[in-house]
Copies of this chain bind each other. A is one copy, B any other.
Amino acid sequence: MLTQAPTRAKGRPRSCVADSAIDTAALELFADEGFERFSIEAVASRAGVGKATIYRRFANRDELLAHAMQQLDADVPVISELGDFWQTLTKLLDDIRESSLDSLKSRIMIRVLSEGARHPQLRAMVTELVIRPRQARLRAVLAHGIQVGQLRSDVDIEATVALLIGPMVWLKMLGLTPEAGAASTESIVQVLRTGLAPASRL
């Protein structure tokens, strides 16, 4: 239950329970309340931890926030390769839409992006840790689709990535779910698959 320091410290070891409580509280607080309401005191309160316990670990608010953000990496869930390319793509978009069944990442992402102009280094960190790996995974799926001949080889990849991610983020921001009348991921993939133009007008 306690962290073991490599160099055997003398006194009471720091609680790793407090460590993770602080990290979790920081991420949830940021997602729930946003940047402006993110304060040491609020994190301590939410984590059930004394302020001194936080100040013993971090010098100030920015350090705490930056450290918490780095807990965002790790799990980019692997998509089990399905037989059908379009099925795989749909599943991938569903994952992006739900952000790994855990909306914490996506709520943080949206907050950081919408406030990015004010905190560029935070924006860069989230871009690197959350957005980039998912875009890479998406590109890999697209490349595989081209390989197996399911995807046109002449499509603009940048445009395609924007066409796949954009609608997911947009629908999430609107707070619309497929159950609530919004477009389903399947129908979006379907439109994208066949295109908007009639076959006769290509």
Q: A residues engaging B (CB < 8 A)? A: 33-37, 110-111, 113-118, 123, 127, 131, 149-153, 155-156, 158-163, 165-171, 173-175, 181-184, 187-188, 190-199, 201-202
Q: Count identical subunits in the complex.
A: 2
Closest-by-CB residue of B relative to A202 is B194
User: Is chain A's binding surface mostly helix, strand, loop or mixed?
Assistant: helix
Beta-carbon contact of B152 and A197 below 8 Å: yes
Known interface pairs A163-B167, A167-B163. Does A192 touch B195 (Cβ–Cβ under 8 Å)?
yes
Beta-carbon contact of B155 and A196 below 8 Å: yes
Beta-carbon contact of B159 and A170 below 8 Å: no
Closest-by-CB residue of B relative to A117 is B175
Beta-carbon contact of A196 and B160 below 8 Å: yes
Closest-by-CB residue of B relative to A174 is B113
Beta-carbon contact of A191 and B114 below 8 Å: no
B residues near A37, Cβ cutoff 8 Å: 36
B residues near A35, Cβ cutoff 8 Å: 36
A200 to chain B, nearest CB (A): 8
A38 to chain B, nearest CB (A): 10
Give me 20 A-to-B residue pairs in the complex whose CB atoms sit less than 8 angstroms apart, sorted by A's number: A36-B37, A110-B114, A110-B173, A113-B174, A114-B115, A116-B173, A123-B175, A131-B174, A149-B201, A150-B197, A152-B197, A152-B198, A156-B191, A158-B187, A159-B191, A163-B163, A166-B170, A169-B173, A193-B195, A195-B196
Q: How far is the CA of A167 from the CA of B167 in the complex (A)?
A: 6
Beta-carbon contact of A162 and B150 below 8 Å: no
B residues near A152, Cβ cutoff 8 Å: 194-198
* Top 9 A-B residue pairs of the complex, sorted by shortest distance between their CB atoms: A195-B195, A166-B167, A166-B166, A36-B36, A166-B170, A114-B114, A159-B183, A158-B183, A162-B167
